[in-house]
Amino acid sequence: VQLVESGGGLVQPGGFFELSCAASGFTFSSFYMTWVRQAPGKGLEWVATIKQDGSEEHYLDSVKGRFTISRDNAKSSLYLQMNSLRVEDTAIYYCARDHLPFGSGSPLEYWGQGTLVTVSS
Amino acid sequence: DIQMTQSPSSVSASVGDRVTITCRASQGISSWLAWYQQKPGKPPKLLIDAASSLQTGVPSRFSGSGSGTDFTLTISSLQPEDFAIYYCQQANSFPLTFGGGTKVEIK
């Protein structure tokens, strides 16, 4: 199982970013997928989760309306579109996979190495 | 939302010591609890799910217990590679929530 995030970098407040996560080594379409973030020196914070077929999405309140999680099962890829970025969105963003196929969304068994998003003027 | 409270926030221990970390949920979550270990510069690693089910490859010195609102992670004999930060996470409902973490440091 491999999860490889990409798309991080430096952006100004109010800006936009799209993160990607390329998955391999498992049947991507069978698993809930999740984004978790970690601000520098801080703990883990769940951001968003999407069901296997994309029919169900869940979001952290502070990102609702600004972030959109999506997936392309044909490409085994997970995405996070981030709009109206704030300084407090600065974090390492991890892509993570559910423990079981056709599970409930967590726990999170496999994690990518993460990609850093820095929101600063 | 379900709040997860971990204690202590840090613990200083020696190799061979027994270490216990507690996690309390703000409402009952049955056994829908997971424990993760995170080392510096690395992503978290799932140690235990369903409160007490050890993941494949995780040493047996790690154990989890509890149900409802109170849970514990125990390391029976601390090894050098166990110095890390440990997080609990409730898997009962969205939004998923993590505890604040417990840093296990070398005494």
Give the tens place of pLDDT for each residue, B67-83: 999 999 999 999 999 99
Average pLDDT rounded to a whole number, residues B7-21:
97
In this predicted structure, what is the pLDDT of residue B106? 87
Averaged confidence pLDDT in chain A: 97
Q: Quick check: A14 pLDDT over 90?
A: yes
| Interchain proximity B91–A107, CB inside 8 Å | yes
SS3 assignment, position B100: coil
* pLDDT tens digits for range B89-101: 999 999 999 999 9
Averaged confidence pLDDT in chain B: 97
| Interchain proximity A46–B95, CB inside 8 Å | yes
Average pLDDT rounded to a whole number, residues A71-83:
98
SS3 assignment, position B99: coil
Distance from CA of B98 to the nearest CA of A (A): 6
pLDDT confidence band for A91 (50 / 70 / 90) = very high
Q: What span, in angstroms and rounded, lies between the C-alpha atoms of B3 and A108?
A: 18
Distances (CA, A) of A96 to A82, B30, B32, B88: 17, 23, 18, 16
Average pLDDT rounded to a whole number, residues A49-65:
97
Q: Quick check: A105 pLDDT over 90?
A: no
| Interchain proximity A108–B44, CB inside 8 Å | yes
Average pLDDT rounded to a whole number, residues B21-49:
97
Q: Quick check: B14 pLDDT over 90?
A: yes
Average pLDDT rounded to a whole number, residues A26-54:
97
Contact in structure between B12 and B31 (CB atoms under 8 Å)? no
